[in-house]
């Protein structure tokens, strides 16, 4: 009997397990643009456009390859609005009750498929290097789940940058070489693509249906198929990878991309295979085109962080994205939605997020994330924001990064201490402070950088939890050495800042 093969909008590769198990002669591929997926959060319009355009082009590729593809467009009159609804409709059409799916990247959809009144088999997603079982086995019995040790196992498993059983160059990690201050100028920019007819049609649809969402739809330059994504990969390896390591943590006004890859969305939706990406980077090193610190750093992000983050998502279960270990309850301020702000770093990160649906890791972690954590914003609202605004955001990767790494809301599963900093770090790693209305040097007073005030406010209000953390003892000793009046002034000014921010006053 024929089976339905479900391909979701972030599973766009022939290698996806549901398709790899299918029989082209009798099985039917189901793909659907549905309101439920397009609106479970108010996605950035560029993200919806990328997914719909890539879905339509992938469906055509499968048809050209001889597959029977039943594709539902968002505006089709019979569109039921949900993945399960579309499976039911196609099941009746084809005369089957059997569905093969690849496990979705979100508990919500895993549960929806389990609840769908058809016989749905969810196969493991084999696009990752570690299986669920491998990650569970690695995590079992460990007190702390530190990425670095997991990463070494992934190096051994893949053989990437290995010299026999030793790491290439003698060290596993070259991060110490990767913290250079921002360069004067940037010599490359990411590859950009002119929208083809399919993409133009999708852009018109998204403009008509999702114009109220936060984010600029046009210009749209993302790759929307595997061939284009591979060109973007080659472009990155040739022009940006050699400097990736040096400037990985740097931020520069007017340079949203620096030497970053902009490949996460392509890997996350299936247009690029993570191993293929890492192998291309390793080749560049072996050919003498890129230095080891850059290539190791890049590969670690993918086979280390990306895999580890995914492992945590599935290990911790469906309640993970809603955790709030620090009991932060403040609402997300309007400046995250583009309300004018005097903080140059935040203004820049939010503006480029609105325009590009992209910010690089340090902007996400040490500007928007750092600020939300210091200000005590409810992590569920922070999670919702990150899931909405970035082109690469899917819950399996977004929530551990946001809830765990950035907001410490999982109580320290991912981060051994909170990623917090005063303005000093941002000043060292960027040129934002030069053009800011606040003074990064001022610790108190009207023009004091809000990060400086909130940093101490955070440490003070969470003293019970963090004082005993051996990596934070220094911070508390510095705080305690300040005289009482100064401490009181800082806390009072921090409170006043938070009140102004929450009242909607421009800050």
Binding residues for ligand SF4, rule: CB under 6 A, are 343-345, 423, 426-427, 432-433, 436, 438, 440, 449-451
* Closer Cβ to ligand DLZ, 348 or 393, answer by number: 393
Indicate which of ligand FAD, ligand SF4, ligand DLZ, none lies near residue 451 (CB less than 5 to 8 Å, by partner kind): ligand SF4
The Cα–Cα gap between 213 and 500 comes to 26
CB of 398 to ligand DLZ, least distance (A): 10
DSSP3 helix / strand / coil % (the chain, rounded to 5): 50, 5, 40
Task: Considering only CA atoms, give the Rg of the chain.
Answer: 23
Long-range contacts of 190-194 (CB under 8 A, 24+ apart): 190/232, 190/235, 190/236, 190/240, 190/257, 190/260, 190/261, 190/262, 191/223, 191/231, 191/232, 191/235, 191/236, 192/221, 193/221, 193/222, 193/223, 193/224, 193/228, 193/232, 194/221
* Closer Cβ to ligand SF4, 235 or 443, answer by number: 443
Residue of the chain from 394, 432, 455, 497 that contacts ligand DLZ (CB under 6 A): 394
CB of 492 to ligand FAD, least distance (A): 30
Indicate which of ligand FAD, ligand DLZ, ligand SF4, none lies near residue 369 (CB less than 5 to 8 Å, by partner kind): ligand FAD
How many residues at the interface with ligand DLZ, by CB under 6 A?
16
* Closer Cβ to ligand SF4, 321 or 423, answer by number: 423
* Closer Cβ to ligand DLZ, 314 or 458, answer by number: 314
Indicate which of ligand SF4, ligand DLZ, ligand FAD, none lies near residue 376 (CB less than 5 to 8 Å, by partner kind): none
Question: By the 8 A CB rule, do 252 and 186 touch?
Answer: yes
3-state per-residue secondary structure call for 219-283: CCCCCCCHHHHHHHHHHHHHHCHHHHCCCCCCEECCECCCCCCCCHHHHHHCCCCHHHHHHHHHH
CB of 121 to ligand FAD, least distance (A): 27
The Cα–Cα gap between 292 and 299 comes to 10
The Cα–Cα gap between 36 and 38 comes to 6
Contacts with ligand FAD by CB under 6 A lie at: 260-264, 267-268, 298, 301-302, 305-306, 309, 360-361, 364-365, 369, 386, 390, 392-393, 397-398, 401-402, 405-406
Indicate which of ligand DLZ, ligand FAD, ligand SF4, none lies near residue 281 (CB less than 5 to 8 Å, by partner kind): none
CB of 111 to ligand DLZ, least distance (A): 12
- 38 part of the interface to ligand DLZ, by CB under 6 A: yes
* Closer Cβ to ligand DLZ, 211 or 505, answer by number: 211
Among residues 306, 298, 307, 259, which one has the least CA distance to residue 277? 298
Residues making contact with ligand DLZ (CB under 6 A): 8-10, 32-34, 37-38, 43, 48, 51, 104-106, 109, 394
């Amino acid at each position: 009997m024929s089976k339905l093969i479900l391909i979701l909008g972030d599973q766009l590769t022939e290698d996806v397990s549901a398709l790899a198990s299918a029989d082209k002669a009798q099985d039917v591929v189901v793909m659907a643009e549905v309101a439920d997926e397009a609106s479970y959060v108010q996605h950035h319009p560029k993200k919806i456009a990328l997914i719909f355009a890539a879905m339509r082009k992938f469906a055509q590729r499968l048809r050209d390859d001889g597959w029977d593809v039943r594709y539902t467009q968002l505006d089709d009159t019979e569109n039921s609005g949900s993945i399960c609804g579309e499976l039911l409709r196609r099941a009746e059409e084809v005369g089957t009750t059997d569905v093969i799916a690849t496990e979705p990247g979100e508990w919500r959809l895993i549960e929806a498929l389990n609840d769908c009144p058809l016989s749905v088999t969810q196969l493991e997603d084999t696009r990752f290097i570690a299986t669920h079982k491998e990650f569970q086995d690695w995590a079992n019995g460990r007190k702390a789940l530190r990425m670095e040790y997991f990463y070494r196992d992934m190096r051994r498993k893949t053989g990437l940058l290995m010299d026999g059983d030793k790491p290439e160059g003698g060290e596993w990690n070259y991060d110490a070489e990767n913290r250079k201050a921002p360069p004067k100028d940037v010599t490359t920019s990411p590859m950009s693509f002119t929208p083809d007819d399919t993409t133009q049609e999708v852009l018109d649809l998204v403009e008509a249906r999702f114009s109220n969402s936060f984010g600029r739809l046009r210009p749209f330059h993302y790759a929307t198929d595997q061939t284009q994504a591979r060109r973007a990969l080659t472009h990155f390896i040739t022009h940006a990878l050699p400097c990736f390591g040096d400037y990985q943590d740097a931020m520069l006004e007017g340079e949203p991309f620096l030497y970053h890859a902009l490949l996460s969305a392509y890997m996350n939706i299936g247009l690029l295979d993570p191993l293929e990406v890492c192998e291309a980077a390793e080749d560049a090193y072996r050919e003498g085109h890129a230095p080891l610190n850059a290539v190791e750093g890049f590969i670690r992000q993918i086979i280390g962080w990306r895999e580890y983050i995914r492992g945590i998502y599935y290990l911790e279960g469906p309640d993970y994205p809603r955790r709030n270990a620090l009991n932060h309850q403040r609402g997300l301020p309007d400046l995250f939605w583009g309300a004018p702000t005097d903080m140059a770093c935040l203004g820049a990160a939010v503006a480029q997020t609105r325009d590009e649906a992209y910010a690089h890791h340090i902007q996400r972690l040490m500007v928007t994330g750092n600020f939300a954590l210091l200000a005590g914003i409810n992590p569920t609202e922070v999670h919702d924001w990150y899931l909405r605004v970035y082109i690469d955001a899917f819950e399996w990767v977004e929530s551990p990064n946001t809830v765990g790494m950035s907001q410490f809301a999982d109580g320290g599963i991912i981060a051994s201490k909170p990623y917090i900093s005063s303005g000093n770090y941002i000043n060292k790693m960027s040129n934002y402070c030069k053009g800011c209305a606040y003074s990064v040097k001022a610790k108190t007073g009207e023009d004091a950088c809000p990060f400086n005030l909130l940093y101490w406010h955070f440490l003070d209000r969470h003293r019970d939890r963090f004082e005993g953390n051996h990596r934070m003892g220094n911070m508390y000793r510095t705080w305690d050495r300040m005289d009482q009046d100064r401490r009181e002034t800082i806390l009072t000014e921090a409170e006043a800042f938070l009140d102004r921010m929450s009242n909607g006053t421009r800050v």
